[in-house]
Amino acid sequence: MLRSLRKHLDVILIIVVIAFAVTIYYGYGSRRSGGGNQAVAATVNGTAITFYELDQAFRNLISQYDSKTLNQMDENSITFLRRLILENLIQNELLYQEAKSRRIKVSSSEIEEQIELIKAQFPSEEDFRRYLGYQGFNLAALREAIKRELMIQKLEDSLAEEITIPEEEIQKYYEENKSLFTTPPQYHLRQMTFSSQEEAEAVLKRLYVGEDFAQLAKDNSQDSYASQGGDLGWVSETTLPPEVKEVLAPLKDKPLAITPVIKVGEHYCIYQIIEFKPQEEKKYEEVKENIEKLLKEEQKRVKVNHLVAELREKSKITIAESLQIAVESSSPEADTAPQSSPEATGKEENREEIPTP
């Protein structure tokens, strides 16, 4: 499981970033307003990241997984995720400190705009304030957290100001990734589902003598679309079971065509084709602007990563001994790896142990 996580490290980091954004807005204030006796997971140039903050960010992350996925994660996998989150917290703190050193400013109106966007996620102002209280902090702490994140965002955006993407690079991306700009064939379908072939054949005979498909679906179908007259809406051909796709293919140019009974898994289905859309490929000019934005964003991320690497090199970063030991023991290379890593702790000669909670 751990090796699978390492293989998909980039995807996991993206998930962590998303989860951390939620943590910043809905949990960061508790770190600044909490007591000074909280156990420290790491320090970044003297600024503490507490175990409480780490655990809170971790809870935000795992809340996005379903129970089946969580049950498949062993202790090593969970430890690995916690460490990834800690690395993200460290990176965030480094970027914030750099933004402060560059005197990046954020206006009150920018902060209030973000607060309004957050409020819009709640049914009412009362629910919004109740949630703040539930998280254990106030509106002032939220404003400070938003200010922090906007400063980091402006710092990252400033790194991208000089980025230009040559036309030929955009064109090359389009040619090499045409599948990303191609919409597969789609069917607008109605469906009826039955538990036996006899039931399905009986309704099919009624369709053949002219009875309405939608009404028969409402009266007889045994799936969740029955109340909608069996209307599935637009369905991509790529998502259809092979047996259904095979039967629909010769009927695609025959609006309102009805299929014979098709056995799909343990059920028996009848389909009606309302409409068909062939595969559609977007032209280069239609997607050129989006590709340019994507490539700029990729280059911006590279610049941010380079900046973080530079900041780590000259910063004093310490990580609690318990987290270092946990990571080493969870690594497949633990037997041959050194007991500490400059990459994990900043300047190696400045590393110091921090008491565990």
Both 139 and 29 in one domain: the answer is yes
Q: How far apart are CA 12 and CA 240, in angstroms?
A: 29
Both 15 and 107 in one domain: the answer is yes
Please give the structure tokens belonging to residue 87.
Answer: 């690395």
Q: What amino acid is encoded at 138 in this protein?
A: N
Both 263 and 332 in one domain: the answer is no
Residue 96 is assigned to a structural domain of this protein: yes
Q: How confident is the model at residue 329 (pLDDT cuts 50, 70, 90)?
A: very low
Q: CB atoms < 10 A from the CB of 1, how many?
A: 12
Both 66 and 119 in one domain: the answer is yes
The values of phi and psi at residue 202, to 5°, are: -65, -40
Q: How far apart are CA 6 and CA 13, in angstroms?
A: 10
Q: How confident is the model at residue 325 (pLDDT cuts 50, 70, 90)?
A: low
Q: How far apart are CA 204 and CA 211, in angstroms?
A: 10
- Least confident segment among 78-92, 159-173, 180-194: 78-92
Arithmetic mean of pLDDT over the chain? 82
Residue 107 is assigned to a structural domain of this protein: yes
Both 233 and 106 in one domain: the answer is no
- Answer with the one of 258, 278, 298 that is the final residue of a domain: 278
Residue 310 is assigned to a structural domain of this protein: no
Here the contacts of 347-352 (C-beta below 8 Å, separation 24 or greater) are: 347/313, 347/314, 347/315, 347/316, 347/317, 350/316, 350/318, 351/317, 351/318, 352/318
**Cα three-residue angle 312-308-105, rounded to 5 degrees:** 115
pLDDT at 133: 83
Average pLDDT over residues 161-182: 93
Any residues with CB less than 8 A from the CB of 149 and at least 6 apart, and which?
21, 24, 25
Q: Which residues pair with 182 in a beta bridge?
A: 281
What are the Cα distances from residue 98, in Å, to 151, 190, 227, 273, 289? 9, 57, 58, 59, 31
- Is the predicted pLDDT of residue 56 greater than 90, yes or no? no
Residue 294 is assigned to a structural domain of this protein: no
CATH number at residue 220: 3.10.50.40
Residue 115 is assigned to a structural domain of this protein: yes
Residue 271 is assigned to a structural domain of this protein: yes
Both 194 and 321 in one domain: the answer is no
Q: Please say whether the beta carbons of 163 and 43 come within 8 A.
A: no
List, for residues 215-229, the tens digit of each pLDDT value: 999 999 999 999 999
- Is the predicted pLDDT of residue 349 greater than 70, yes or no? no
Q: Please say whether the beta carbons of 97 and 44 come within 8 A.
A: yes
- Answer with the one of 278, 299, 332 that is the final residue of a domain: 278
- Is the predicted pLDDT of residue 238 greater than 80, yes or no? yes
Both 88 and 212 in one domain: the answer is no
Both 144 and 41 in one domain: the answer is yes
Both 79 and 25 in one domain: the answer is yes
Residue 175 is assigned to a structural domain of this protein: no
Any residues with CB less than 8 A from the CB of 286 and at least 6 apart, and which?
181
- Is the predicted pLDDT of residue 263 greater than 90, yes or no? yes
Tell me whether residue 231 is exposed, middle or buried, using C-beta atoms within 10 angstroms of its C-beta: 0 to 12, 13 to 18, 19 or more.
Answer: middle
Q: How far apart are CA 39 and CA 35, in angstroms?
A: 10
pLDDT at 66: 72
Counted domains in the chain? 2
Residue found under tokens 């056995």: 263
Strand pairing of 182-183 and 267-277?
Answer: unpaired
Helix residue spans in the chain (DSSP H): 2-7, 9-33, 51-62, 67-72, 75-101, 108-119, 125-135, 139-159, 167-176, 197-208, 213-220, 242-248, 284-314, 321-330, 342-345
List, for residues 70-129, the tens digit of each pLDDT value: 777 777 777 888 888 999 999 999 999 999 999 999 999 999 999 999 899 899 999 998
- Is the predicted pLDDT of residue 3 greater than 90, yes or no? no
CATH number at residue 61: 1.10.4030.10
Expressed as residue numbers, the domain containing 10 is 2-159+316-350
Both 150 and 194 in one domain: the answer is no
Q: How far apart are CA 27 and CA 56, in angstroms?
A: 7
One DSSP character per residue, 299-335 reads HHHHHHHHHHHHHHHHSBEEE-HHHHHHHHHHSTTTT
Both 191 and 137 in one domain: the answer is no
Q: How confident is the model at residue 156 (pLDDT cuts 50, 70, 90)?
A: very high
pLDDT at 19: 40
**pTM for this entry:** 0.62
- Is the predicted pLDDT of residue 18 greater than 90, yes or no? no
Residue 207 is assigned to a structural domain of this protein: yes
Highest average pLDDT, of 122-131, 305-314, 325-334, comes from: 305-314
Both 44 and 109 in one domain: the answer is yes
pLDDT at 37: 58
- Answer with the one of 278, 305, 333 that is the final residue of a domain: 278
